Amino acid sequence: MIGIVVGHRTSVNLWFVMVVVWAVACHVGRPAPVTARFALGRVDVPVAEPGLEDAIRSGMARSLARAGALSPAGGIGVDVTVIRATTRPIAVTDGVRVHTARLEIEVRLDGVPVRRTVLTDERSFTASVPDQAASARAAAFSTLSQDLAEDAVSWMRYGPGKGQLTP
C-alpha cells in the first residue's frame, strides 16, 4: 500500500512527491511535432507600415526553414493577416522618446478543418530625432515579425488540432 509516512514528514513526503512529479513529467513529455510541410501563401498587410509585409514573409520563411517544415511547392498553405500594427509614445526624457510597437497577426492554415490563431507581441524602442525614429520603428517591427513567426511555427508544429494536418 502506497501512503504518506506521518512520522518523517519533511524528508520522506518531499521525496515521495518529487518522485511522483518526476514520473508524471517523464510519462507526459512534449508532444511529437507535426511532420507536415508548409507553403507560405498570402501575407495581407492592410496597414501603412513600410517593409512590414517583407519582414513577415521573410520571418515566416526563415522560421519554417529552420524547423525543416518549409515546402517550396505544395504543402499546407499558411496565410498571414496583419490585424494591427501600432506604435504609441510611452515616455519622453531629455529629448529621447520611448515608443512601444505592437504587432498582432492572424495565422491561418488551409485544410479541413481550417485552423487559425491570433498572435500578439510588443516591443519598446527609443529615438531622439525623427530620422532615427523611422529606422527604429522599422527595426522594432522587423524583430516583432520574426518573433511572431517563430511563435506561429511552434503553434503549427505543436498546437491543438495538429493531428488533423496531412502533409
Question: Would you say 115 and 144 are in contact if contact means Cβ atoms under 8 Å apart?
Answer: no
The per-residue DSSP string of 36-72 comes to --EEEEEEE--S--TTHHHHHHHHHHHHHHHTT-B-S
Q: Domain spans of the chain?
A: 1-30, 38-164
- How is domain 38-164 classified at the architecture level of CATH? 2-Layer Sandwich (3.30)
Nearest to 152 by CA among 47, 75, 72, 40: 40
2 burial via Cβ count (<10 Å: 0-12, 13-18, 19+): exposed
d(CA 143, CA 58): 11
pLDDT (mean) for 112-136: 83
Lowest mean pLDDT: which of 45-59, 76-90, 123-137? 123-137
d(CA 63, CA 13): 45
d(CA 130, CA 93): 15
The answer to whether residue 55 scores a pLDDT higher than 70 is yes
Q: What is the pTM of this model?
A: 0.73
pLDDT (mean) for 2-9: 50
Which residues have C-beta within 8 Å of that of residue 64, sequence separation ≥ 6? 38, 40, 70, 78, 153
